[in-house]
């Protein structure tokens, strides 16, 4: 089993970090078929996620996100690409003044692109 570990510091505070992580969980359920369980804590939250080929946790605190995931055999071949895409997307979001708004904007762009691609076919 191949592992991914990513830590990213942020200045969001727990409330805003929680909103961003919870929104990611909703999106992962809808678009990636993930089973997600979000546990809120007083000082930190833990998001458990799984689907065929991957399972892991996202720890959410006032200062950082820590992602630990285990990839199954088929996804392990794409470990470096998966890791780099997660890092790239997370870094882009955290660079925004309003990461949740940036996330929503990116989701809308992707939905519009899918819709446009469907009309062209």
Tokens of 93: 């979001």
Tokens, residue 78: 């794409």
pLDDT digit of tens for each residue in the chain (121 aa)?
Answer: 799 999 999 999 999 999 999 999 999 999 889 999 999 999 999 999 999 999 999 999 999 999 999 999 999 999 999 999 999 989 988 998 898 888 888 888 888 888 888 866 5
Nearest-5° Cα angle at 101, 97 to 103: 105
The tokens for 77 are 């071949």
Task: Tell me the whole-structure pTM to 2 decimals.
Answer: 0.86
**pLDDT at site 106:** 85
Residue appearing with tokens 């997660």: 86
């Amino acid at each position: 089993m191949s592992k991914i570990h990513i830590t990213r510091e942020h200045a969001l505070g727990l409330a805003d970090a929680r909103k961003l992580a919870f929104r990611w969980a909703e999106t992962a359920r809808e678009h990636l078929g993930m089973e997600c369980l979000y546990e809120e804590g007083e000082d930190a939250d833990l998001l458990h996620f799984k689907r065929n080929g991957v399972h892991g946790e996202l720890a959410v605190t006032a200062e950082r996100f820590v992602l630990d995931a285990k990839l199954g055999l088929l996804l392990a071949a794409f470990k470096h690409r998966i890791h780099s895409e997660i890092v790239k997307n997370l870094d882009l979001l955290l660079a925004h003044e309003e990461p949740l708004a940036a996330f929503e904007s990116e989701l809308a762009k992707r939905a519009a692109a899918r819709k446009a691609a469907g009309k062209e076919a």
